[in-house]
Amino acid sequence: MRSLIDITDLTRDEIDEMMAVAADIINRPEEYSDKCKGKKIATLFFEPSTRTRLSFEAAMYELGGNVLSVASESLSSVAKGESVSDTVRVISSYADIIAMRSAKEGAAFVAADSARVPVINAGDGGHCHPTQTLADLFTIYREKGTFDGLTVGFCGDLKYGRTVHSLIAALSRYKNVKITLISPAELKLPDYVKTGVIKKAGMVYTETDDFEKSLPELDIIYMTRIQRERFEDRAEYERLKDSYILTAEKMRSAKKDACVLHPLPRVNEISVKVDADPRACYFKQVENGKYMRMALILKLLEESKDPVKEDLLKGQEIVVGKTGCGNPRCISQTERELEKLFKAVDEGSKVYRCVYCEKRAETPQVFRHYEIKPKK
């Protein structure tokens, strides 16, 4: 049995296979209408969502299954102080698979470690959003027919943009993908993505704050919202919120076969007038996301027939720290009695990152090396 916490939990071959299944669902929906008969998905959304939650629920219904839904943290026992671990242990008694969103980075990791059923990360703070990445990849593939050799520009909030972090990780597996990072200085891509993914994969990349200069070079234009909910300083948000706006006029300088993506919701970073442009693919992303989530649900439920849980820390050098990572958004700051775990960036390295949120810790005060025990 396995869960999906990060897009790198899936191999490139597995993603390709899932895209093939999604395409088959589009062509032969009747063949899949009873695939999940008698199965239930629990959608636990402790942070606002429209597309992702309803996409999971529509996916399960169209596979013939049923849905148990918690649409708000305020409507759950989490509001009473219940831990993530206790919540998913309870829900494991009711559902066959869980899709969970939380504002806490690393919450999906804790959930997957505690649950008795597969857990799908539907977004954990500013960390990861692997199923949006599946939607992004399927959209790019349907529009372009390949990933190899594309120049992909990410524009806007690259610091907190979990969809950006996940998609870059996925694209790092393909050949000659070039990355252009467009953001204000305050919202640059985190170092753990730049160093641990882009540089490690040997990807060619550029960083700039000049959107219009970069636009003509891009095959994929990935716009993102400046996320008000991630800012502690409201004044800083107000200053940065309109940093980049894609307009119909600016689209005149884009490639004739460019593809404009956006994980949505949109505020005003893409003009409504761009919607009529055939290169605007963000509403196609929504539908493609449903089909990829259908393929993912089928895959994880099939693999859950093996009751042995996949070890989330297998093959990594893990230590237990005396103190946490210091990230106020990390699940380790709120989850009761959760061990402060750190992983070495490279084997034998003295540079560590928090297991849950991946915040860098130069030399954490090590309490002991972590002993990995089999999960049941």
Q: What is the distance between the alpha carbons of residues 28 and 24, in angstroms, rounded to a whole number? A: 6
Sheet strands side by side (includes 352-354): 360-361, 352-354, 341-344, 318-321, 366-369
Same structural domain for residues 177 and 242? yes
The pLDDT assigned to 43 comes to: 97
Rounded CA Rg of the chain: 20
The pLDDT assigned to 155 comes to: 94
In a domain, 364, yes or no: yes
| Structural domain total, the chain | 3
In a domain, 278, yes or no: yes
Same structural domain for residues 276 and 151? yes
Residue 332 belongs to domain spanning: 318-369
DSSP type of residue 127 = S
Same structural domain for residues 135 and 279? yes
Same structural domain for residues 153 and 252? yes
Q: 185: pLDDT confidence band, cut at 50, 70 and 90? A: confident
The pLDDT assigned to 229 comes to: 62
Q: Which residue has the higher pLDDT, 309 or 155?
A: 155
The CATH number linked to 233 is: 3.40.50.1370
In a domain, 374, yes or no: no
Q: Are 285 and 293 in contact (CB under 8 A)?
A: no
Same structural domain for residues 99 and 69? yes
Close Cβ partners of 105 (under 8 Å, ≥ 6 residues apart): 124, 125, 126, 127, 327, 329, 330, 331, 356, 357, 358
Q: What is the distance between the alpha carbons of residues 103 and 83, in angstroms, rounded to a whole number? A: 14
Same structural domain for residues 105 and 26? yes
The pLDDT assigned to 261 comes to: 98
Measured over the CA atoms of residue 137, residue 143, residue 145 and residue 149, the dihedral's sign is negative
pLDDT digits (tens, 9 = 90+) for 46-94: 888 889 999 999 999 999 999 999 877 766 777 678 899 999 999 999 9
In a domain, 39, yes or no: yes
Same structural domain for residues 235 and 292? no
In a domain, 2, yes or no: no
pLDDT greater than 90 at residue 310: no
pLDDT digits (tens, 9 = 90+) for 107-154: 999 999 999 999 999 999 878 889 999 999 999 999 999 999 999 999
Return left, alpha or beta for 348; rule: phi > 0 is left, psi -120 to 50 is alpha, else beta. left
In a domain, 55, yes or no: yes
